[in-house]
Structure 1
Amino acid sequence: MKPTIALVGRPNVGKSTLFNRLTRSRDALVADQPGLTRDRHYGHGRVGSKPYLVVDTGGFEPVVDEGILFEMAKQTLQAVDEADAIVFLVDGRTGITPQDKIIANRLRQAKQPVFLAVNKAEGVSHAMATAEFHELALGEPYAISASHGDGVREMVEMVLEFFPDAEEEDKTHHPKFAIIGRPNVGKSTLVNAILGEERVIAFDQAGTTRDSIYIDFEREGRKYTIIDTAGVRRRGKVNETIEKFSVIKTMKAIEDANVAVLVLDAQLDISEQDATIAGFALEAGRALVVAVNKWEDLELQQKDTIKRDILRKLGFLDFAKFHYISALEGRGVGDLFKSIDAAYKAAMSKLPTPKLTRILQVATERQQPPRAGTVRPKLRYAHQGGMNPPIIVIHGNALDRVPESYTRYLEGMFRKAFHLQGTPLRVQYKSSDNPFEVEATGGKPGLMRHKGLK
């Protein structure tokens, strides 16, 4: 399970800059203006030797009791409570402020390990940059520069030392699926409907993610594990309607599942939050099934409008199977399992190299990749590079020039040939390092070919 690292500090100390560096993205807005980040941003850490999740919080003003700054402070405190480790960022140029001392007092009460990072320390000796921050009594301060990258990787490695290496792929060989979605869309009702089916045997097992429940059960002789992300239910409280939603818990559940079941509310507009949660599943490479809930009371015209709205806003989930259900009445719930089984099978598929290469050859004969200047990319052979999601690695020449549109064409060919319904598919390219294979003369065949392939 990936640990979660929360970035905490008063406004304008460089949290968003550090977030962007850790995620190697530009997802968080950065400007020389305090209070720019108001909501939490979530991403996958890509700096360091172990995988992790990172949360960028808004500027923490602990002394306010109303207004937007108060709401930002509440968001930050929730992120602190849910994180596995906390990086407290301070400004090495400004020095210690009264707010820093108040935040430090609050963080000393946290159960999670806290790491003090002194930012904007470029051009200054580490001893001089960190000297006064020992006063905060949060352990050894680390001098870093989020904007230049100085000391960032070393600090991250120190944080990650507290956590074990990522566990190997689950070898239980049965579908593990997570029920995900925004609040009040019917996730609790759907979990209850699933566990209330006939021929179901269920028992609770505490998960490694705080407040998530892993429930093993059998349905029609097949084993499943459902991950309930609501975080408030036990078997004795299965009818509670209030559930606490957390993006962190959802992300962790997605990471630990083979299949994600995204629950939408048919009686509400498809929101940005729905698309964001779906995006988490897609980025994690998880197979996906979509359950459009509360379908029972809608008129025919409303149903047509909702389907068009879903197609427009969630078009990037065209690989997933959509089900229109009523969790409250149990309608359509049984059909979900057919799609969960199919998505799991597709995600864990083994793709033989000979068949992959034949499909690649058929695809290129039917439509060659477009030229890039005087060079046409040459696709030679393909093999499987991983599963959950399936990864197809294509070898050849000048493959860095294959356009995105052609990659989507190849994905469609592979998906159709192997019946990969319900799972994302990733195509990766690996160009030859042999200079004799480089197509430098208008796409003519190279001097050498992979053994056994022409």
Structure 2
Amino acid sequence: MKKKNVIAIIGRPNVGKSSLFNRVIKEKKAIIEDRPGVTRDRIYGSADWLTRDFIVIDTGGITLENATFAKEIKLQAEIAMAEADVIVFVVNHQEGLLPDDEMIAKLLYKTKKPVILAVNKYDRKMNQDETYHYLTLGFGEPFLISSTHGIGIGDLLDEIIHKLPSPKEQDQTPYPSVALIGKPNVGKSSLINTLTGEQRMIVSPIPGTTIDAVDSLVKYNGKNYLFVDTAGIRRKGKIESLEKYSYLRSLGAINKADFVLLMMDMSEPISDQDTNIGGLAFEAQKPIIIIGNKWDLLPTEMKDRKRREAEIRAYFKYLRYAKIIFISALEKQKIGQIYQAIDDVDASLKRKIQTSIFNEVLNRAQLLNPAPDHNGGRLKIYYGSQVEAYLPTFVIFVNNPDYVHFSYKRFLENQIREQFGFEGVPINLIFRERR
């Protein structure tokens, strides 16, 4: 299964990590200010280069000084390094190498990860003695960059792609990886215990019992499934220091997973936090199955599955493609439906549509609902076909992609789903001008 690679940007304060982060993701997401400690939490962003998609993590500056948040910043940087496939170690040419740089280099030696040394803020050509100075860090020839002016960034990205695992290496996972996410105390650990048939996780009514993401390999009907139990995600305003890192590790578990199970407590009203958590998996473009747990606690008059499903879909309009099942993890009710749902979604991922049949659907959709005028013109669809990709992806050739209104794109997606299913998985529609 395809997972996005992770690139971590590491360095001491004020070396230009956030500027490099913004340059790579092509947007100003990280806060840039000329004083140490501005970036405290890790910030995630998506980027691409040479057809490879990856996630970039911007971290707070690691320092030897007893500064405010120094320990927390060091911890979250270490978490970022653990998640990363490639680490970019940034130093500041204008200030030269400092003891903090050497301390960070020692941390990086322990990771056994590919490390690329980027010398930022250089304003003139280095002489041989200066280059040798950076070679003493032990990470090979440095890349000379200016993240502010964009100098050397292309060469740096080329090296990042060169050091990433090949797509074939990533596709060798022998079984699906499934991340369980949800608010605290919705029953994730109880479900893991039921699936594994043992008291593997600590089950407690106290929210926050699970601090880290924990893997459990389960065999069912001769097939293996890797379930990852994550810490319950609370509202950001209520996330305390230790929980912050659990939250970030949950984000990492979502990225690495092939499928996401979004669990909710059906004995409680659906909350905005439930929808916010679902949004994390949606933004990561993951196949999603919504699980309504604690069905056994509902009074008989509330056990109308169709009505409860409609209620969930009203809250999760952005997840209209998600499968929904209702279970009781504690009472072991309907647990087999989870495996069936995962297999069904897996089949949707692998579904291939013949080009001729797909174009019949496109033609019928245009007759049923012609495209409206948009951006000074009207969309005309010529033809389309499915292309090889992890998620179902269709390239549609049109007279002008600017004429595609978002509502018409959604209409076409609904027509495709109505004809071919693809339940549980996102669909990518790419519009290109026919030349």
Superposed pair shares fold, TM > 0.5? yes
Superposed, 1:165-180 pairs within 5 Å as 165-167=166-168, 176-180=176-180
Shift of 1:333: 2.1
Change in Cα spacing, 1:337 to 1:145, as seen in structure 2 (3 Å) is same
Residues 313-342 of structure 1 show CA distances to partners (whole Å, capped at 9, x for unaligned) of 643112102234321222332333343333
Look up the SS of the partner of 1:153 in the other structure: helix
Question: What residue in structure 1 maps to residue 203 of structure 2?
Answer: none
Change in Cα spacing, 1:264 to 1:395, as seen in structure 2 (3 Å) is same
Are the equivalent residues in 1 in contact too, given 2:86–2:113 (CA < 8 A)? yes
Q: 2 CA distance for matches of 1:300 and 1:125?
A: 76
Superposed, 1:92-103 pairs within 5 Å as 92-103=93-104
Shift of 1:308: 9.6
Question: What residue in structure 1 maps to residue 121 of structure 2?
Answer: 120
Are the equivalent residues in 2 in contact too, given 1:5–1:55 (CA < 8 A)? yes
Unaligned runs of at least 5 residues, structure 2: 199-212, 232-242
Residues 185-214 of structure 1 show CA distances to partners (whole Å, capped at 9, x for unaligned) of 4333323323449xxxxxxxxxxxxx9757
Shift of 1:280: 5.2
Change in Cα spacing, 1:310 to 1:33, as seen in structure 2 (3 Å) is farther
1:85 and 2:96 correspond = no
Superposed, 1:46-445 pairs within 5 Å as 46-48=48-50, 50-64=52-66, 67-121=68-122, 123-127=123-127, 132-134=133-135, 136-167=137-168, 176-181=176-181, 185-196=186-197, 213=215, 215=217, 217-219=219-221, 223-230=222-229, 246-247=249-250, 249-254=252-257, 257=258, 259-265=259-265, 270=271, 275=276, 278-279=278-279, 281-297=281-297, 314-372=316-374, 374-386=376-388, 388-433=390-435
CA RMSD in angstroms comes to 3.9
Look up the SS of the partner of 2:112 in the other structure: coil
Residues 337-365 of structure 1 show CA distances to partners (whole Å, capped at 9, x for unaligned) of 34333322222222122222122112112
Shift of 1:12: 2.9
Change in Cα spacing, 1:292 to 1:32, as seen in structure 2 (3 Å) is farther
Change in Cα spacing, 1:335 to 1:107, as seen in structure 2 (3 Å) is closer
Look up the SS of the partner of 1:292 in the other structure: strand
Change in Cα spacing, 1:175 to 1:115, as seen in structure 2 (3 Å) is closer
Change in Cα spacing, 1:251 to 1:62, as seen in structure 2 (3 Å) is farther
Look up the SS of the partner of 1:229 in the other structure: strand
Q: 1 CA distance for matches of 2:142 and 2:423?
A: 50
Query: Which letter maps to 2:358?
Result: L
Unaligned runs of at least 5 residues, structure 1: 198-210, 233-241, 434-454
Are the equivalent residues in 2 in contact too, given 1:2–1:166 (CA < 8 A)? no
Q: 2 CA distance for matches of 1:17 and 1:302?
A: 53
Q: 1 CA distance for matches of 2:303 and 2:69?
A: 38
Q: 2 CA distance for matches of 1:32 and 1:285?
A: 35
Q: 2 CA distance for matches of 1:78 and 1:18?
A: 20
TM-score of the superposed pair, with normalisation by structure 1: 0.74
Q: How many residues align structurally?
A: 401
Query: Which letter maps to 1:262?
Result: L
Which shows bigger deviation, 345-354 or 16-25? Answer: 16-25
TM-score of the superposed pair, with normalisation by structure 2: 0.77
Change in Cα spacing, 1:374 to 1:262, as seen in structure 2 (3 Å) is closer
Change in Cα spacing, 1:265 to 1:125, as seen in structure 2 (3 Å) is farther
Shift of 1:414: 1.0
Shift of 1:55: 1.7
Residues 93-120 of structure 1 show CA distances to partners (whole Å, capped at 9, x for unaligned) of 2333443343334334443333321112
1:23 and 2:25 correspond = yes
Look up the SS of the partner of 1:179 in the other structure: strand
Q: 2 CA distance for matches of 1:31 and 1:274?
A: 33
Are the equivalent residues in 2 in contact too, given 1:146–1:152 (CA < 8 A)? yes
Query: Which letter maps to 1:125?
Result: K
Change in Cα spacing, 1:216 to 1:344, as seen in structure 2 (3 Å) is same
